[in-house]
Amino acid sequence: MMRALSIAWKDTVHVYRDFAGLAMMFIAPLVLAAVLGAAFGSGDNFSIAAAKTVVVDQDGGAGAGMPAAGAALVAALQSPDVGDLLTVTETDSPEAAREAVDSGDAAVAVIIPPGLSGALTGAAPAKAEIEIYKDPALTVGPSIAEAVAQSVAQSLNGSRAAATAAAQLAVSQGLTDQAQIADVAAKTAAVVALEARADAQITLEQRNPVVAGAEKEKRPNVASQVLVGMMLFFMLFGASVPARSVLDEHRNGTLSRLFTTPTRRGVILGGKFIAVFVVVLVQAIILILAGWLLFKADWGEPGPVTVLLVCSALVAASLGLVTVSFAKTPGQAGAVSSAIFVFLGLVSGNFTGTIVTSGPFATIRRVSPIGWLMEGWSKVLYGGSWASIALPVLVTLGFAVVLFAVSVFFFRKRYA
């Protein structure tokens, strides 16, 4: 055992003398997490810029004392409840509103037609269309404006239905004067519209992804979610640095001389594995602490986080050894391992962070041990407990054992 530890110590010290490798292990993931976190909002939740909305109100109302339907829609768009999502300005003509969208000065234009209020009371043609003119390249902002307009339109349609029912009731009671019938319908529509405007409120409810086994609700910031993906990705490269020492020593002849000593090959390979494991474990611990200090990341309960750290290091060490076990030169090992690591990063979702996914991608990412690790980290970030990470931990440990066995097989076959 002491001989294995001596080999591991020698390889570990050699890694920390390589400043270029250290920069890739520590600086690169932190910089990427900081940049992506700043780009998408590194606060407590994902944030988007308020969509610039232009409104044209051509509705003149339905008459004296009657509330204007167009004004109700404008008030809904300017409601404080959606103030963080929509920045509303008014203009006089539909042409100017469309021009603002075409030139990129606005994301969406809401054009209220003339006679909208009259359509509700029967004083104008029955059909009135509210036009939503939007930038086809944008989705979120225009969708919010469209949803608000749709909500108001449903309320107004309810007012029209009430006015129609009131007019029919008046006729059934023997009222024949058309002016009086129209007045009853208009007043009914006005009352229903006022009640709807008083009672209806547009509110936004923020809900976090539901994580099975979560003991408490958490909302991790974007930077911490990105850092997990970058940490696991660069741990693979961190593992490849000490793992390639086997090829360096083979090329320099020191490995052959080591095999002539009484030290068994299993002990030598065990020492190499310990070195790789220690290097990536220290890398992960430093990145976790840096995320806590720099990005205010709340990683979760210490116990599950510690287990995931160890599992991440075991998987990274095993993958690092596998990628160099069948390479003949350090250059070949670097090219092969880089291609494998990038592929695993794409399949596992390292570049999208711990976003809770579903559907085909959630299944595809499970073919990779890194995908399982991403799943486990996602659960603890959102408040998961021991029960929620049990399956990812067991699967990743199985991957680590199989990968280590494969690397031992190739090494023993080469150096038999």
Number of domains in the chain: 2
Is the pLDDT score of 169 beyond 70?
no
Lowest mean pLDDT among 79-88, 248-257, 316-325: 248-257
Is the pLDDT score of 301 beyond 50?
yes
Average per-residue pLDDT in the chain?
Answer: 77
Is the pLDDT score of 257 beyond 90?
no
- Sign of the C-alpha dihedral, residues 65, 67, 68, 74? positive
CATH code, domain carrying 126: 3.40.1710
Res 399: pLDDT: 94
Give the DSSP per-residue string, 131-182: EEEE-TT--HHHHHHHHHHHHHHHHHHHHHHHHHHHHHHHHHTT---HHHHH
Is the pLDDT score of 302 beyond 70?
yes
Lowest mean pLDDT among 164-178, 213-227, 335-349: 164-178
Is the pLDDT score of 122 beyond 80?
no
**Domain end residue (candidates: 199, 233, 261):** 199
225/123: higher pLDDT: 225
pLDDT band at 65 (very low <50, low <70, confident <90, very high): very low
pTM, full prediction? 0.59
Q: How far apart are CA 208 and CA 205, in angstroms?
A: 10
Lowest mean pLDDT among 29-33, 70-74, 118-122, 372-376: 118-122
Lowest mean pLDDT among 202-216, 297-311, 314-328, 360-374: 202-216
Are 144 and 101 in the same domain? yes
Residues in the chain: 416
Please tell me whether residue 218 adopts helix, strand or coil conformation. Answer: coil
The domain of 83 spans 51-199
Whether 312 contacts 235, CB under 8 Å: yes
Res 308: pLDDT: 95
Whether 368 contacts 348, CB under 8 Å: yes
Are 169 and 251 in the same domain? no
Strand order in the sheet with 108-112: 86-90, 51-57, 108-112, 131-134
**Domain end residue (candidates: 170, 199, 228):** 199
